[in-house]
Each structure stands twice: as structure tokens, then as C-alpha cells.
Structure 1
Amino acid sequence: MTVTTPPKRMASLAIVDYEALANKDPAEIQKLVQACQTTGMFYLDLRGPRTQAIVEDVPSIFQTGQDFFNLPPDSPEKTQSLREGMERGYHVGKGFEYYEIARDEYQLNKWTLPATFQPQKARITRTITTFNAAVQTVLAELCAAAHITIPELTDDPTIPSDTALKLVYKPPVHDAGTVIHPWHTDFGLATLLWYDEETTQVPVYDEHGGQTDEPLTVPVVEGAVLINVADELAARSGGRLRSTVHRVVAPPGEKRVRNGIIYLLRPYER
């Protein structure tokens, strides 16, 4: 008897073109607003002239991050990067590791990268700058169109914030489909996720708005970063924008190393 596995259901999310958005194209702004009011998650296509470099930078940063995470646990680079009581710096979780760079400290030259990352300093700088400019543009156009006021939304690194770039490393320990991070929403204003694997899932809701047990898998879109509305932005909108419920699962296929880059827009101190 042949047993067939039912095909996974894929989420269909809006793709917003960054160049069009930066040029204040009305149709692109409306697409952005609608996506944030419904699913709260969308792709931002970064393959335009202002942001194309990030498409070329990310693979090199992934490789450098992997070199760092593969260092012995007691290596000076790792032990000196540990920061207790805060998310910044190097941390080890259950089945994953990450290294978080505070955007403000980095922009003000108050952040010392581990030696392994030093050769990629220019790429890391460009990535932080590009992600920050992109999400600032997204939030500025979204808030203007939806009449939302966020006084803390600023590009000034001298104003303290929790905004950060996080490099995530997941070793090959999870079987396909294993839930790594259960259903949750993000805190802050918005989260950007650059990934090469189908690891994010969003729920299906019934006719009454209740969350069902059937997930939709978020596919990879080449040259685009996945962005989701977070709790603070949803609250500032009075609930008109949706903070996306999502979870992270191990992708299909054999166990393997997975890398990700996350940009967390949190322009205020918590």
C-alpha cells in the first residue's frame, strides 16, 4: 500500500516593491497598507538599484557567521561576546545560537565585532544601513497612509533604542517539521527576516476568526526580505494593523545547518 503525504499549503503574501514604495507610488502604498491590515506580513523586494547590494552581501555574511558559530564554546571570541541580562551579543539557546549587534552602538562606533566578523565589516555595515533605511521607508509610508503617529520613529542613532541586527545559526539537529519556536507574535514595531529555507508558518483562521490547527508555509521569494508587523505597531494603530502570529519549523529534507538574518526595529528603550 502506497501512502502519499498531502501537499503542504503555501501562504500567498503580497510582494511590495521597495523602489516603487520609496518613490511614493500610490498603488504600492495601498498594497502595503492592505497587507498590514490583513495578514500583517509581506515581502519587500530589494532587487532595485538602492538595495541590490544586500542580495550579494547576505551569503557572505551567512558564511562568516557560520565560521563564528563553529568556533569552540570556550573560544575567546565567544566568551568575550557574551552579554548577560540582555539579548545583545552572543547567546546559546536550545538548538540554536545567535549573535545580535545593537544598531545604535554599531553606528556610533561603540561596538567591537569579534575577529571572525572583521573581514565582513563593510558588508555588515551596508546590511544594517540597508535594512534600517528600508524599514524606515516602510513605516513612514504606512503610518502616513494609515494616520498613525510614532514619535520615536527616527533614524538618529544617538537616540537610544533596542533596534538590532541578529545573525541566527541553527545546527543540523532538528527533523523536518519539528517546531522550533511555537506560535507567537513579535514585540517592537516590525521584524525583517532574510532566510533561504521554508521555516516560517502562519495559521489558518476559521470563519469566526479563530486560529485552526492547519498552518500555511511561507515560501522563499528570491531577493526579498520577509517583514511582519509587531505588537507595538499593532497597538499604536488601535488594532487596525495585525501583529502576525507565526511559528518556526525545521524545513523539509535532511537535517542541515540553517542560517538567518533578522532585523528588529525597536526604536525605544524597554
Structure 2
Amino acid sequence: MVRFSIEDLPPFPEDLHLAPIATISSARLQERDPTETARMIEACQTYGFFYLDLRDTKEGEQLLNDSEALLELAKEVFALPAEEKLQYHLKKGVSLFGYKAPGTVKLTDPERRPDSTEFFNIGKDLVQGLAPGWPYPPAITAARDPLLNGFTRRAHECGMLVLRTLARGLDLSDEEAFVRLNRFDMLSGDHCRLTRKFPHPSDKNAIGLPSHTDFGSVTILFNWLGGLQIESRTAGRVGQWEWVKPMAGYAIINLGDAMVRFTNGALKSAKHRVVPSPGPQVELDRYSVVYFVRPHNEALMQPLPEFANGTHVKVGGKVSVDDDENKVYTAGEWMVKRSIQLGS
């Protein structure tokens, strides 16, 4: 397969302040390298984001190929007429899956700006035949096997590599502790997301997606144009927005609020947002391909026993659902409540 090249796109400006996030080798994680494990743990307790080099493993190369095939699928389905895409629109509080049109206003955005992002959430359970799912355009249905089937399996296993490394780096006695909470063979909110943000060349205040934290366990992102920003953790810049530059051959990994919950705040779920692409990139549609690893529906959203006493240093973001801290939700219940908070 001819590798799609970021170099074929307009250049990412050189004068922007980049988030100093770590670059981690997937091969070294597979080898259980203690230095790489420690570097990943540090990344997940500071910025909450890191680049994962996928070029050094066979599985990583396959994921890169999958992401580029899904990029072409995204271009095809987002070119459909708006009235056709709206036939597949998700229903907030009913289903996380289906199509979301641009124009959502998130209540956490002080300026109440409608977003300029549309996406298709494609449930892993449907792709893998675990459950019936939301209807999708014919192009997505036709891509179920082998493309979506293979991508969801490989991306999920990439997430499990991250979770096993976290368990090892946090000195858990059971390396599979986080993996069991995010089982691939059980019903869950796991999904592949195809995303398009349309250009805003004349409106520098436009928002692609307002500030938020993800509410699953691990997010695996493939993108080609700039636009992603995360909150700085650097002294003197804390709370300011810093750019994440796409890099060829790398996925961008971040943790979600579920990992904050499971570790009682020992891991970080970082705030991030999507803004208009910088420099000459602003003229183009911005596509991304994402896989969200989320706890299976029966998992209990509470700290693991090792973290229940609160002796670990807390670095994480928000973990609450509404204000009821005394109720232990299942992940299925928790995901529905969090999805309702997405906006209107």
C-alpha cells in the first residue's frame, strides 16, 4: 500500500507553541522495556497525552494502513448530502452511535459557539456481531468486513497494550486488571469515529470541538491536519492552550475519565479541544479517525482496590457524573449519563 503522506498537505506552521508530549515506542512497550514504561506513566500523569510510534511493529503498520483506508471512507461518507446523513443521526441519551451533525453547543463552552464538526460513531459491538446496531450509510456497511472488523480489533489491542503497561508501571499485582474492565468480547461503548471539521478560514474564533475530557479509558487518534490543542502543564503556561502537531507514523494517545475513576485520580484525563487548523491548513477539511476504548457495560465505575484508600497522588481531571458521588454506576449507566452532557 502506498503510504499517505502528511508532507503532501500544506505545512504545519513552525512558529506555534507545541505541547511537549512524549514519543513512545510501541515495540518497546511490547518488549516491556522498563524505561519506556516509566516514560509512558509520566506522560499519563502530566499531560495525559503521548505520541505512539507505530512504525516499529507489524501490528502498528497494519493500524496505520487501516487508518488511511478509513480516511478515504470518511471522505466518501461525508460527501453525502446533508439530508441523507441526517437519516442516521444519533439520539442523545438513547444511542452513542450513528451520525452527529455540526452545530452542537456544549454548555462548557463559555461563548456557546456551535461546533463545526460532524462525525459517524460506528459501534464495535455491531462491527463484531455482538449486538444489532444503529443504521449506517451503505458505504460504511460495506466496509464492515474486513476494514472495520480489522481496525476495531487492532485498535482495541493497541489500547490493551497501553492498559497493561499502565498496570505494570503502577505496580499492580495483576497486569490484566485494567484489561478485564475493557474486554473486547463484551458489550460496551467502544467505537470507531470518522470525523470531519469543515474549514473556517475567515473566523479565527470558530470552534471544532470545545474543551472537554474523553470519558472512556483510552483514545487512539489518527489525524493529518493540525487543530488539536491541549492544556499546558508547563510552569508559567499552566492552563494555556498548546498545539499537538500531527506526525507521520504516529497515533496520538490520551486517557479518558474512566481511568481517572479506576485509579482514584492517579492518572490524568486531560482537557483538549479542536480549533481551526493553523496557517494554510485552515483552507482544508480536517479529517480524523479515532478508536475509543471504553469499559464494558457491566464494569463498576469505582477505584480498583489498590487505589481505594486514596494514598496515590491525585493528578486526574473530573470523574463525577452529576453530583452523586455515593452511587456506584455500571459503565453502561455512566456512559449514558456522560453522553447526555455532550450538549444540545
TM over 0.5: yes
Distance 1:67 1:28, change over 3 A: same
- Between the aligned partners of 1:51 and 1:229, the Cα distance in structure 2 is 19
Cα offset for 1:172?
Answer: 2.6
Cα offset for 1:204?
Answer: 2.7
Are 2:115 and 1:89 equivalent residues in the alignment? no
Corresponding residue number in structure 2 for 1:265: 293
- Between the aligned partners of 1:206 and 1:226, the Cα distance in structure 2 is 19
Quick check: 170-179 or 18-27, which moved more? 170-179
- Between the aligned partners of 2:89 and 2:232, the Cα distance in structure 1 is 39
Q: What SS is found at the alignment partner of 1:20?
A: helix
Corresponding residue number in structure 1 for 2:53: 45
Give aligned pairs, total. Answer: 261
Q: 1:59 aligns with which of 68, 71, 75?
A: 68
User: Could you list the runs of 5+ residues in structure 1 that have no partner in the other structure?
Assistant: none
Q: Is the CA contact 1:40–1:242 (under 8 Å) kept in the aligned structure 2?
A: yes
Q: Is the CA contact 2:73–2:140 (under 8 Å) kept in the aligned structure 1?
A: yes
Corresponding residue number in structure 1 for 2:220: 192
2:73 partner letter: T
Q: 1:36 aligns with which of 29, 32, 44?
A: 44
Q: Is the CA contact 2:51–2:250 (under 8 Å) kept in the aligned structure 1?
A: yes
Corresponding residue number in structure 2 for 1:105: 126
Q: Is the CA contact 1:136–1:155 (under 8 Å) kept in the aligned structure 2?
A: no
Between the aligned residues of both structures, percent identity stands at 25
2:125 partner letter: D
Q: 2:161 aligns with which of 106, 118, 137?
A: 137
Q: What SS is found at the alignment partner of 2:209?
A: strand
**1:221-260 paired onto structure 2 within 5 Å:** 221-252=247-278, 253=280, 254-260=282-288
Q: Is the CA contact 1:177–1:251 (under 8 Å) kept in the aligned structure 2?
A: no
1:98 partner letter: F
- Between the aligned partners of 1:179 and 1:156, the Cα distance in structure 2 is 33
Cα offset for 1:132?
Answer: 0.4
Distance 1:190 1:137, change over 3 A: same
Distance 1:146 1:114, change over 3 A: same
Distance 1:142 1:236, change over 3 A: same
Distance 1:23 1:103, change over 3 A: same
Distance 1:19 1:256, change over 3 A: same
2:137 partner letter: P
Distance 1:134 1:6, change over 3 A: closer
Q: Is the CA contact 1:176–1:255 (under 8 Å) kept in the aligned structure 2?
A: no
Cα offset for 1:88?
Answer: 0.2
Distance 1:161 1:147, change over 3 A: farther
Quick check: 166-175 or 39-48, which moved more? 166-175
User: Could you list the runs of 5+ residues in structure 2 that have no partner in the other structure?
Assistant: 1-12, 104-115, 297-331, 335-344
- Between the aligned partners of 2:157 and 2:167, the Cα distance in structure 1 is 15
**Whose RCO is larger (CA < 8 A, sep 6+)?**
1
Distance 1:113 1:129, change over 3 A: farther
Cα RMSD between the aligned structures?
A: 2.5
Distance 1:82 1:195, change over 3 A: same
Q: Is the CA contact 2:194–2:289 (under 8 Å) kept in the aligned structure 1?
A: yes
Structure with the higher fraction of residues in strand conformation: 1
Are 2:32 and 1:24 equivalent residues in the alignment? yes
Corresponding residue number in structure 1 for 2:152: 128
- Between the aligned partners of 1:35 and 1:265, the Cα distance in structure 2 is 18
1:223 partner letter: G
Distance 1:6 1:103, change over 3 A: closer
Are 2:29 and 1:15 equivalent residues in the alignment? no
